[in-house]
Amino acid sequence: MIIVACPGQGSQTPGFLTPWLEVPEYRTHLEQLSEFAGMDLVAHGTTSNADTIRDTAVAQPLIVAASLLAWQALSASADTRSVSLAGHSVGEFAAASAAGVLTPADALSLVRVRGEAMADAAASEPTGMVAVVGGSESDVLEAIAQADLEPANMNGAGQIVAAGSSASLALLAENAPRGSRVIALQVAGAFHTRYMLPAVETLRAAAASVAATDPTHTLWTNRDGTTITSGIVYRDLLVGQVSSPVRWDLCMAAFQAAGITGLIELAPAGALTGIAKRGLRGIPTVAVKTPEDLAAAVELLSSELPDA
């Protein structure tokens, strides 16, 4: 079983789409996705600086569009009908579109609403996120609770992301659990926590008018690492996900239980394959960062074919 994974916010870097746009058909596709998102994703993926693409309202549509661009390229190069799909945080919108739950237009229009609503919620008071790497899980969770923070991302492989007020984050950094490192993340707010509840209501109103069809692929949810067969249920989970923890650790455990044989991460790739190398040891991974990486992804997919 091959998992195709769509990354979340923070995976973007300045100019990361430049190699893709050297291919005319990819440029044309990204221009179409830009229309769906209502912003110039070509510019943001090539010439916009780090501060611009760090803005939540820009970063989220850009990341989802990049994953959809890579998905189209991969699907044109290989048979992807048997793969399973999963997304990390906002990457779930790309996974939903790849699985046919949402059209690309609806996925990007909702992500635009999501990004703007989360940016507005983050602006109401100083909040942020840190990655706690290492230490025992119980010690890390206890330290997070004592600092009045929330575990926003349970990424597995010894990485938990804590989120909350800036003062509480500073307290955690000063009292890091034994054997751990506390690393500040370049995000604008405490995503996947109670601080995002206003954004949930905004996204729920927008999602109510969007059709959702049942997935054409096996589709995993960040909520608890289970598979979802109802498009409407998955759409509702996408809304609630904004203020609830991302359980990528449960997703990886479920991948293992289901017999994962490889993981392909779509652009802007790197974060999830990095986690997989620690949390899914021995499982082949491919990070599709540029069109040149497609050949390795196709080779991994071909290893699943009966006559391979």
Domain-located, residue 114: yes
In a domain, 136, yes or no: yes
The Cα diameter of the chain in Å comes to 58
Question: What pTM, to 2 d.p., does this model score?
Answer: 0.93
How many domains does the chain fold into? Answer: 2
Which of 166, 184, 202 marks a domain boundary? 184
- 177: domain CATH number? 3.30.70.250
Tens of pLDDT, residue by residue over 10-60, are 889 999 999 999 999 999 999 999 999 999 999 999 999 999 998 999 999
Regarding whether 77 and 7 lie in a shared domain, the answer is yes
Q: Which of 138, 156, 184 is the last residue of a domain?
A: 184
Produce one character per residue of 24-53: b if its CB has 16 or more CB atoms within 10 Å, e if not. eebbebbebbbebbebbbbebbbebeeeeb
> Which structural domain, as residue segments, surrounds residue 216?
2-122+193-302
Are 198 and 111 members of one domain?
yes
Tokens of 173: 């950094």
For residues 155 and 260, membership in a common domain is answered with: no
Please indicate, yes or no, if residue 308 is contained in any of the structural domains.
no
Same domain, yes or no, for 220 and 251?
A: yes
Q: Is residue 307 part of a domain?
A: no
Active site residues: 89, 192
Which tens digits make up the pLDDT trace of 167-206?
Answer: 999 999 998 999 999 999 878 899 999 999 999 999 999 9
User: Do 205 and 282 belong together in one domain?
Assistant: yes
- The secondary structure element, H or E, covering residue 105 is helix 104-122
